[in-house]
């Protein structure tokens, strides 16, 4: 098939999922066209079967806010026509889904279906905002196909928006050959806790620093913070205030997480909410058990006490004590590491999930759907 993929090309989880999906599809012989304002971070555009089309947004003195959604729609329609795309697959509802709807209407000769994948904050935060609620609902209703990444997200979308159309749950996935344990990489010595995120308030990165201070009362541990974003400065300040700054390393944005993760003993993911928790899955595939919060879609992924822990949001004492357990009880750590790897391999590996997307694409393309051509011919 010839597929157009649009996502946020930065460090968010939805962009990572979209990129990995495109790369896997290309490996399986599909032609994949990324349409976005920048090259997605994990995408090498030299990969066979992968094409990248930049969206240029011109400014004009009248535009206080340059209309990216319109430039994107024009580019989608142009790429779809020139490369004869079979469908568009957009990740994160706003504004990508609306741009795809416009592109679909611009193609008058034939049907160009589009699929929207809902990732999390597009529903829980952006979609919940009064100014975006109606357009988010509309974009879901007008998509030819809608998928989401966890049972929790399905319930949340249906309940919150009162959506009646079917939404397919296709879980996030991980490449288990790339993300795998590496005992040699884990040098003896201090215990290491890893946090990965884009440091937005929803990630509660300050809780990582607080939990480290708690853990250090009992274990000589260090905290590795991978990623960057608005709360990094506050986290650095808090580390100073709590006197743990020498034990916290801020790495900034990282491109090779599969090399970093296996060196760690535990992942700390104290999020306010998490639609799925891709970082937890990547850690589990590397045999690094997560200590996460009991929220959102994390129970879709983690089995409490078996392959990770989930504790209440903001409960530093509970999260800290689970981290201490993992860092001090080697047998428990080993058992959970093995179980975590097993969960990733048996439920969320690329070879299990990508075929679900392929089948879904075929189904949506085969359906008689609305399109400009259908509308025009009526």
Identify which of residues 133 and 321 has a Cβ nearer to ligand GMT in the complex. 133
In terms of residues, how long is the chain?
Answer: 378
Nearer Cβ to ligand GMT, position 121 or 157? 121
* Smaller CB separation from ligand GMT, 196 or 221: 196
Residues of this chain that bind ligand GMT (CB under 6 A) = 12-15, 17, 92, 119-121, 149, 172, 197-198, 202, 273-278
In the complex, least distance from residue 274 CB atom to ligand GMT, rounded to whole angstroms: 4
Closer residue to ligand GMT (CB): 15 or 289: 15
Least distance CB 194 / ligand GMT (angstroms):
15
Shortest Å, Cβ 204 to ligand GMT:
10
CB of 275 to ligand GMT, least distance (A): 3
Nearer of residues 267 and 275 to ligand GMT, judged by Cβ:
275
Tell me the closest approach of the beta carbon of residue 15 to ligand GMT, in angstroms.
6
Q: Nearer Cβ to ligand GMT, position 221 or 281? A: 281
Nearest distance in Å: CB 46, ligand GMT: 25
């Amino acid at each position: 098939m010839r597929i157009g993929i649009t996502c946020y090309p930065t460090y968010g989880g939805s962009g990572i999922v979209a990129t990995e999906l495109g790369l896997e599809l290309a490996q399986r012989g599909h032609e994949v066209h990324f349409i976005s304002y920048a090259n997605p971070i994990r995408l090498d555009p030299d990969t066979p079967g992968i094409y990248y089309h930049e969206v240029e947004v011109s400014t004009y003195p009248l535009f206080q806010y340059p209309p990216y959604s319109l430039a994107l729609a024009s580019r989608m329609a142009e790429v779809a026509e020139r490369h004869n795309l079979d469908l568009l697959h957009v990740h994160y509802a706003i504004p990508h889904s609306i741009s795809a709807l416009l592109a679909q209407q611009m193609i008058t000769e034939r049907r160009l279906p589009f699929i929207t994948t809902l990732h999390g904050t597009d529903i829980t935060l952006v979609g919940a905002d009064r100014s975006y609620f109606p357009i988010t609902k509309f974009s879901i209703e007008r998509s030819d196909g809608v998928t989401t990444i966890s049972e929790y997200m399905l319930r949340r979308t249906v309940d919150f928006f009162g959506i009646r159309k079917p939404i397919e749950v296709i879980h996030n996935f991980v490449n288990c050959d790339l993300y795998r344990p590496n005992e040699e990489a884990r040098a003896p010595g201090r215990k290491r806790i890893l946090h990965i995120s884009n440091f937005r308030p929803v990630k509660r990165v300050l809780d990582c620093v607080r939990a480290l201070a708690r853990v250090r009362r009992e274990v000589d541990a260090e905290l590795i913070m991978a990623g960057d974003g608005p709360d990094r400065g506050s986290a650095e300040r808090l580390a100073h205030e709590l006197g743990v700054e020498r034990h916290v390393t801020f790495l900034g944005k990282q491109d090779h997480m599969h090399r970093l993760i296996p060196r760690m003993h535990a992942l700390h993911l104290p999020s306010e909410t998490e639609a799925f928790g891709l970082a937890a899955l990547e850690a589990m595939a590397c045999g690094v058990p997560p200590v996460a919060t009991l929220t959102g879609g994390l129970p879709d992924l983690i089995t409490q006490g078996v392959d990770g822990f989930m504790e209440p949001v903001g409960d530093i004492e509970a999260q800290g004590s689970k981290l201490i357990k993992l860092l001090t009880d080697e047998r428990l750590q080993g058992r959970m590491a093995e179980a975590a790897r097993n969960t990733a391999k048996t439920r969320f590996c690329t070879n299990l999930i990508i075929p679900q997307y392929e089948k879904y694409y075929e189904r949506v393309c085969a359906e008689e759907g609305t399109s400009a051509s259908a509308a025009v011919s009526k």
